Structure 1
């Protein structure tokens, strides 16, 4: 037993001191936590320090900031920043998406930001909201020229305005005028789409970046000089109908911009099996057998590749028929999704004449080229001895491997495989000559073979209409199957090309998907599962349905029909031929599940059909009038209509100048910048400044959005106080440890002193 414990008086003093010290420690810890929390919130609510107005030098920049080159050497213009939050609700085959874009002006001058962004090619964009302080301004649908006029007037008057325009069915622009110094403007866009189905697999894609598009010169590519400045990647003014604004693309070493957060609420309508995202890491939370919540594992990811979600039913087979409807005004809208039976007796597969076209232009460099080559080598191995084939490769030049299609035997296949393995990506994307060569049929009367063109490309071109015309004019007996390669393919072109070519579209986003998806494609290449399909509606005179006529179907692909009728009643009959035998199914049109947005999807499908008819028939004036009427009636963004939101109160002073700049985007993941744009030197100081931009984005997103939330608009809360509280807790523990040490030494000293006195 120690000496101190034998003297109560000795023990009493340290114990009293410990009570006081414990109280002091607790009080100090609480004060420190409160101070740290207060500092944290004060810092979060303080906007980033404005950058000097007008042109700046690199020495003026104190935080990570995107800069545009100015005409004056050594001077730059601060660029507005952007962050995006995506929320997608999936109910059965229908998805409703809300895309929230937050624009911030880091400088102390007034700016107009223009952001070029992608959406799914079948999206029906119908809603625009702009948040200013505590107010929400609803966007209105107007004819495109009128919407632009109204926007320009508001911009000139100093009023805040937002304008959403369509450049392609999968490419949109959002212009936001009069963003004040250090100010944030929130713009929210909503759209409707359907999930894709292939066999028992359902999928949904959200594109995140518009890949650079190659603009061909309007001349024979064999006589074109592709030196910088003479044409090619965005340098040449394309034809009017193919005009496409392109944003500045940031070099990868400068850092990543445009962070995205994304969540999906999935209600499949049937017991769920596997749910996965092939290209992003995600967290998946199950809610019963039919529902799941999916979120990006990293809360924020750069917008540099498409997001894809894939889900399957738990049972061996998914539902074979689904009917959905919506009542809008005095009319009913129907969506029918029907998967035909595969049939125990399949049509005997005919020998094929397979023409493989592979894109080896500069945009395909890196992983995309590897995926394309692996896919083509896989396809060559799957040819049967009775088949014929040829291989065409293109960049800004063209090579047709054999003079004509050759038998698929060992020697010819060996030559083709060696040719494919030696391909390298470089040059421009002159796709039209390759398409013409592929569709050139030396034996148009040959009915003994199925002539199939398999086109492997990222579709990074701007002259889609020219290519569509070529397909519809010269398809003949060929069928066109497109294979989209890479992290951000031009899905609009790939889907429409396959539809016009009466084939199918397959996307391969990474090497792990090559075998699975090419195997599925080759099952479809054998022969159509169902032909001569017809839809007989209860009242054909008053029913308008799309597509019309219904195309042939391949294995696993459902019939997807949209229809409008005065009243959904009576029996819908679908007929076709399966394996040479008649097939029929009947559905009660009045018993479909109620789903919102079916009318929007019908309108979008009708616009697609009218666009296709115009490309084939050339009667743009008549079809444009119908497209405009449908888009205005259903409040949809289209080639001829735009959404515009205008504030009534001017905010920019008359003497303040407005700077307008396109907002930069990332290069798609896996792309080689120098292969696409050529080598361009970047000053080291500017590169270092740009690389810090992610920190500024994080600080921007962490700021609370209380004003917007109070206005009734759903916004992401992408940051919490956890990091600050953890830091505060650690500081409190360190302080407590220090005070405890002092107390222990003080107690030990007092005990020693009392012991000496007791002697």
Structure 2
């Protein structure tokens, strides 16, 4: 059962007064009920009458402790209407986020969510919604894409939904990084095939499997930035405790402020306060010279077992004097979602890749939208004339159409000489990954990779990190993200150096004591790439031995586990990694669907994690919506990711209804669901506005909240 409290002191990260004060300042005072054209944004839900969209603001507080991070995301839903409302919001999280907690705050009541099997959680939520109870449901649609549904928000009321998750910190060479996605980009969902292969016999098109059966769950209304100001303002703060003396701390995506309480700590915030949720936030940091650890070994004791996390960077070796010639296939996405700055970044990145080819290399270029085209019929020598022809082809690309990724991926992986040993075969795939059929892509990679190494390059402000990173892991390559134009040269150079560098192969991790380790099979590594191993064992003792070959020479490293430092959240990181492995085993056929689902469900329930099979649900005990009162249902709109071109994505003219969306546009997304009532939806705080009044309102609300809290304590005594 969900746990409810209205008297106990709140946790430190759930102080209602300050949160409501800050979020109300962003949302602004409730406007008067306005007619169409009077300052609101109206949404249709099915055949129902248009309803004014609830307002949303979010706050992210992230605490980094060495190799892990704990994030608290607080979303404030504001109902500015005179009706009772249910709001549904689609939002992204990091692809490795272990979501394990949710709270619903209504007035002075805090309802703590339980983890339940997905279908049971959905049934309980729908029953509470029908009974007029306050309720919230957090469901995973993809490992990096979630939905929140909040039922029975009263007229003029603001409710808070607070989600918490654990994740690992990324490391590449001496650079550590943390990403927070803030907007879910529209995803292309291919329709079921109109014709099945002849070998399968006749089929009724109506019975063919849908490649994206949950297409409606991953779609949301999208605002045209030419007609609407940004919505869903976000504030962000990070408490960074690196565990070593810090050098540079920076963000290439957002302007930040950085305070330094000590040589190993930093406090980071957005320089401008609230910002529009329209791009991923990225923070990077490096150690001070000579301060970076060669080995990171951490452990956490919980429930009678130890969770261990080891991060080791193999030594850098020189590139061999006579590197092996390469066959490189560049694949570039020129679909509609790549419109605007994304296509320019992708073209610039591909041109950098072409310039790095050496005599003796062979190459080809494939472009795709909802069609595909190759520059040459087959691989060609990287000579001056062929390279010039390829560059002219790339320069003429424009963004248009849908994102049919499967066919070009299969074409790039197709190997005419799979037994070839004298050449290295590599695929460099440039895309934003804005698709809904990830499972088909993963299956194709697992079935067709052979000796090919797949290198994914994420383009733009909000790429699909789950697709990009997992595709690279399955393809035994790496994932590089290019968020801004000024990152193209440096990040492509770093990637291409990895492609040219010797691979760390035959990696293996052996514990001297019994342990459940993840990953079960270690991937190939490239220059500067760390080995990360998570394990659970009865007691962290004995040794962990890592072995492999670098440039054909043996490499070995022995770690003593009883010297591990204390870490936080490592058990959650291990469980999330094991769940990811089970999902991969199901997709690639190494586990039956039944066995994989059983393993996932067992891990999720044991560790309280939200997965494909489990959800978090919070339900208040007392009905609050009056009997017979209408409940209006709306899907909250999202911003278009920064740099995307709305016209290239949806077409110049908005379609009148979902059925009128032509094949080239994104299935499941209907801009006509947005009924513009003004040129502005939610105004962000700006200079010269009502900020003083709003701050006074926030202070008053803070005082009222503290008064209610102190009275609650006296009653509790």
Range into which the TM-score falls when normalised by the shorter chain: 0.7 to 0.9
What do the CA deviations read for 1:116-162 (whole angstroms, capped 9, x no partner)?
A: 00000000001101112222111110000011111111111100001
Cα offsets for 1:409-430 (capped at 9, x unmatched) = 1010010001001111111111
- Give the number of equivalent residue pairs: 652
* Counterpart residue number, 1:654: 627
RMSD between aligned residues = 2.8
* Contact 1:531-1:552 at 8 Å conserved across structures: yes
Distance 1:67 1:578 in 2: 60
Q: Which of 499, 512, 516 is equivalent to 2:473?
A: 499
Describe how 1:488-637 pairs up with structure 2 within 5 A. 488-539=462-513, 542-617=514-589, 619-637=592-610
Counting only pairs closer than 5 Å after superposition, residues 31-50 of structure 1 correspond to structure 2 as 48-49=29-30
Higher mean C-alpha deviation, range 274-283 or range 213-222: 213-222
**Match for residue 385 of structure 1?**
359
Give 1:232-243 correspondences, 5 Å limit: 238-240=211-213
Worse-superposed segment, 323-332 or 604-613 = 323-332
Measure how far apart 1:65 and its partner are: 2.1
What is aligned with 1:32? Answer: none
Q: Indicate the residue corresponding to 2:40 in structure 1.
A: 65
Deviation of 1:575 after TM superposition, in Å, equals: 1.1
Report the 3-state secondary structure (helix = DSSP H, G, I; strand = E; otherwise coil) of the residue aligned with 1:146: helix
Three-state SS of the structure 1 residue aligned to 2:176 is strand
Q: Taking structure 1 as reference, are residues 710 and 549 closer, same or farther at Cα in structure 2, changes over 3 Å only?
A: farther
What is the correspondence of 1:60-209 to structure 2 with a 5 Å cutoff?
A: 61=38, 64-69=39-44, 76-209=50-183
State the Cα distance separating 1:349 from its structure 2 match: 2.4
TM-score between the two structures when normalised by the length of structure 1:
0.82
Bigger RCO of structures 1 and 2 (CA < 8 A, at least 6 apart): 2
75-84 vs 384-393, greater mean Cα deviation: 75-84
Q: 1:691 aligns with which of 650, 656, 680?
A: 680
Taking the aligned partners of 2:694 and 2:619, their CA distance within structure 1 comes to 25
| Paired residue secondary structure (1:693) | coil
- Gap runs ≥5 in structure 1: 1-39, 224-230, 714-759
Alpha-carbon shift at residue 288 of structure 1 (Å): 2.1
Q: Which residue matches 1:21?
A: none
Query: What displacement does 1:321 show?
Result: 0.4
**What is the aligned counterpart of 1:288 among 242, 259, 262?**
262
- CA 1:388–1:463 in structure 2 vs 1: closer, same or farther (change >3 Å)? same
Query: In the alignment, is residue 465 of structure 1 matched against residue 465 of structure 2?
Result: no
Tell me which protein shows more helix as a share of its residues: 1
Specify the SS of the correspondent of 1:694.
coil
Listed one character per residue, the Cα deviations across residues 690-722 of structure 1 (whole Å, up to 9, x for unaligned) are: 415316998798553536678889xxxxxxxxx
Partner of 2:241: 267
Counterparts in 2 of 1:516 and 1:385: CA distance versus 1, 3 Å: same
Q: Give distance in 1, aligned partners of 2:151 and 2:239.
A: 33
Moved more, 310-319 or 195-204: 310-319
1:529: Cα distance to partner?
3.6
Q: 2 CA distance for matches of 1:209 and 1:267?
A: 27
The residue that corresponds to 1:447 in the other structure is 421
8 Å contact kept, 1:83–1:701: no
Provide the secondary structure at the position in 1 that maps to 2:445: helix
Q: Distance in 1 between matches of 2:216 and 2:595?
A: 21
The answer on whether the counterparts of 1:347 and 1:527 sit within 8 Å (CA) in structure 2 is: no
Deviation at 1:437, TM superposition (A): 0.9
Distance 1:657 1:265, change over 3 A: same
Deviations 1:625-669 (A, max 9, x none): 110000000000001000111100111001201011110000000
**Structure 1 pair 374/566, CA: closer, same or farther in 2 (3 Å)?**
same
> Unpaired segments of 5 or more residues in structure 2?
1-20, 198-204, 655-670, 711-717
Distance 1:602 1:711 in 2: 41
Could you report, residue by residue, the CA deviation over 1:540-583 in whole angstroms, capped at 9, with x for unpaired residues? xx311010111111111111111011111111111111222221
